[in-house]
Chains A and B, each alone.
Chain A
Amino acid sequence: MQWTRKDLLGLYDLSAEEITLILDTAEEFKKVSQRRVKKVPALRGKTVVNFFVEPSTRTRVSFELAEQRLSADVVNMQAQASSLLKGETLLDTVRNIEALQVDLVVMRHSAPGAQNFIARNLGCGVVNAGDGAHEHPTQALLDIFTMREKLGSVKGLQVAIVGDILHSRVARSNIWGLLKLGAQVTVAGPATLVPREFESIGVRVCHNLDEAIRNADVVNLLRIQHERQTADFFPSIGEYSKFFGIRPDTMKKLKPETLIMHPGPINRGVELAGEVADGKNSVILEQVTNGLAIRMAVLYLVAGCVQK
């Protein structure tokens, strides 16, 4: 299996073999971060720009560390500091970045498909760090990596994703990746935030938490955003938490070895009780650690396909 893409835009585009290649490559890079010297020269001489047109802390830090550990030269660009506010188009901004002989652009944007649009207009590589509610491929890859590491194989796993599925790029990328690797996916949450249309691609859609998590091997919880309440998707955070939050007593309904995952940031006491987030089933911090390995793997593979 040879990696052939200059961009990583989403898991929708990838084959099971390509996903597995990233996961296998990440296993090797995970070992690097466990060494005393946590750096390899894989991207020496390459320049990576982290271009975030939407706020992010953890994803940006994770990418930046991954780039540094691969010995790339790194520049961070925030939307606030960029020319977008001066009326320049996104395409012009990114063309200007490319004109500085940059090899890779890691990009986050609020508009679905913004990275697809940029990637087809640029020669440098584009890695999607989240585009609106469309995809967040490295997050899903690190989730899947964690499942594989903990449970051995993804094939046949029952994975429940709970929360605001409608507005979640994490959910979409997880769905594509998990389906391709042979897992069974259930999405759950209030009916207003979990559209039935997901059934058309073979995902089970559920509006009852107990039913959704009953036989789950993994429960992946998504952050519920307060602004959805003001848009009338559900009556209150309290009611959301009552019907869809995971509390210590919920754990009794799960299989003992079920993994509790969360892409962060957690609203403690809303979608997830603190005791569960810190409990023995939780792998939330291991997800963060694995995120670094996944991003190193992705950057390494993609950089190898950028024509310079």
Chain B
Amino acid sequence: MKDLLFKNARIIDPVRNVDAKGDLGVSNGLIVEASEVKDATVIDLSGKVLTPGFIDIHVHLRQPGNSDAETVATGGAAAAAGGFTSIVAMPNTKPPADTVGAIELLRNMAKKSPVKVLPCGNMSVGGQGEAMAGIGSLKEAGIVALSDDGRCVQNHGLMRHIVEYAKAFGVPILDHCEDSSLAAGGVMHEGKWSVLLGFNGIPAAAEELIITRNVLLAQEINWRIHMQHVSTRESVNILRYARSRGIPVTGEATPHHLTLTDECIKKFDTNYKMNPPLRSEEDRQALIAGVADGTITVIATDHAPHTATAKEVEFDHAPFGIIGLETAFALCHTELVTKGVIDLPHLIRMMTAGPAEVLGLEDYSLRPGRPADLTIFDPAEEYVIDSSKFFSKSRNTPFNGRSVIGRIIMTVVDGKVVYQK
């Protein structure tokens, strides 16, 4: 592999608090000082930004079980196109990733992915919320986290034991926070629009109740619990309070919860159906405020591919979820950075150091000697999202046709260019 020399880039490296113009070298898959490369391919990045590779800690790759919607290879290609160099694969596949064999299968399939696929194991057997999964063995098999995403352990006693047990193995918990009795039968946010449209609602309290539970367990056990796709105002408030008390909890926001609201559903387009649902404008503003003040430290996509056949049905009957890998950066850059909510280094932190911290990855930076996982983008390029050009196998996005600013132009994994616009 030939050495690379990136010149004249705006280099943003949140862990080291770097935001400066400079050069960066890549040799043997590792980051090196620009002066150390030999016979390198020189890439001029004037006007472009170079950052550590983005990490998405919330991705559904659908393989095994629904490879019509996505495979590890196509999801990985979509990730590369979105600037992600590492993605965490949620375990709700068929069969679920609750055994060593399932993790080994995923690691094997991951060889076909251009980006790093980090396995996440189920915290309960089959994701059924009834018995603890083999957490120690899963850790040995290579999982980076535990989650029952899509579902949520309802039995608080079991959850407490899972957190205690996982702590001893050093595995973080990523929780889909949803009380099933409050959410039962709901297909959208419970509020003005569910009432006007006649849909069963999912109340905000369904999420807030479990976030509260998790805060109490994290405090009691002193172990990290990460709240997936935080979507409501009170969730943000509870998280803010917990973090101010030093309780080891973190939260992520998805690009869609930061940009869309429940009102979008009045057209009955199933590409606006996901769980947690799009919330009210008040919730969206609170989430943005949580991003701005550092309560929310992670952008994650909840990339959830579904075939057109699965989504082209009555809203009630459509599966939850939208894809997000190929639109996440541009949407967040447009809505958060160009609109002045946060600065660019803050967004980059939420897509690199923030998720790395959740996973316990040390020094996720551009320090020489680190693996050369890099993301390069043009912060000024305006373009229109065209889902027909996506690398993902699925097209279930509500953002097709939306104008955005900021385009991924190159993604590098272990020194290898895996995506180039």
Residues of A within 8 A of B (CB): 12, 89-91, 109-114, 116-117, 131-135, 166-167, 169, 172, 195, 197-198, 200-201
Question: A109 vs B316: C-alpha distance in the bound complex, in angstroms?
Answer: 11
Asked whether A197 and B196 contact (CB < 8 A) given A111-B316, A132-B316, the answer is: yes
24 contacts between A and B (CB under 8 A): A89-B309, A91-B312, A110-B316, A111-B316, A112-B315, A113-B315, A114-B315, A114-B316, A116-B268, A117-B314, A131-B198, A132-B198, A132-B199, A132-B316, A133-B198, A133-B199, A134-B197, A134-B198, A135-B198, A172-B196, A195-B195, A197-B192, A198-B195, A201-B196
Give the chain A neighbours of B267 by CB distance below 8 A.
116
Please classify how large the interface on chain B is, using the bins under 10, 10 to 19, 20 to 34, 35 or more: 10 to 19
Closest chain A residue, CB of each to CB of B268: A113
Return the contact of B314 from the options A113, A166, A195 (Cβ within 8 A). A113
Question: A113 vs B273: C-alpha distance in the bound complex, in angstroms?
Answer: 13
Return the contact of A90 from the options B196, B197, B199, B313 (Cβ within 8 A). B313
A90 with B314: CB separation less than 8 A: yes
Closest chain B residue, CB of each to CB of A53: B314
Give the chain B neighbours of A200 by CB distance below 8 A.
192
A114 with B195: CB separation less than 8 A: no
Q: B202 to chain A: closest CB distance in Å?
A: 14
Asked whether A89 and B315 contact (CB < 8 A) given A112-B199, A113-B268, A172-B198, the answer is: no
Question: A114 vs B270: C-alpha distance in the bound complex, in angstroms?
Answer: 11
Q: B39 to chain A: closest CB distance in Å?
A: 58
Residues of B within 8 A of A (CB): 191-192, 195-199, 267-268, 309, 312-317
A111 with B195: CB separation less than 8 A: no
Q: Which of B198, B199, B268, B312 has the most CB of A within 10 A?
A: B198
B198 with A109: CB separation less than 8 A: no
Give the chain A neighbours of B199 by CB distance below 8 A.
112, 132-134
Return the contact of B191 from the options A89, A109, A197, A201 (Cβ within 8 A). A197
Question: A91 vs B191: C-alpha distance in the bound complex, in angstroms?
Answer: 29
B198 with A89: CB separation less than 8 A: no
B198 with A169: CB separation less than 8 A: yes
Knowing that A117-B314, A132-B199, A198-B195 touch, tell me 7 more A-B residue pairs with CB under 8 angstroms: A90-B313, A91-B313, A111-B316, A117-B313, A132-B316, A166-B195, A200-B192
Closest chain B residue, CB of each to CB of A175: B196
Q: B190 to chain A: closest CB distance in Å?
A: 9
B192 with A89: CB separation less than 8 A: no
Q: A211 to chain B: closest CB distance in Å?
A: 21
Question: A133 vs B192: C-alpha distance in the bound complex, in angstroms?
Answer: 14
Give the chain A neighbours of B191 by CB distance below 8 A.
197
Question: A258 vs B27: C-alpha distance in the bound complex, in angstroms?
Answer: 87
Give the chain B neighbours of A133 by CB distance below 8 A.
198-199
Give the chain B neighbours of A112 by CB distance below 8 A.
197-199, 268, 315-316
Asked whether A111 and B314 contact (CB < 8 A) given A89-B309, A116-B268, A197-B191, the answer is: yes
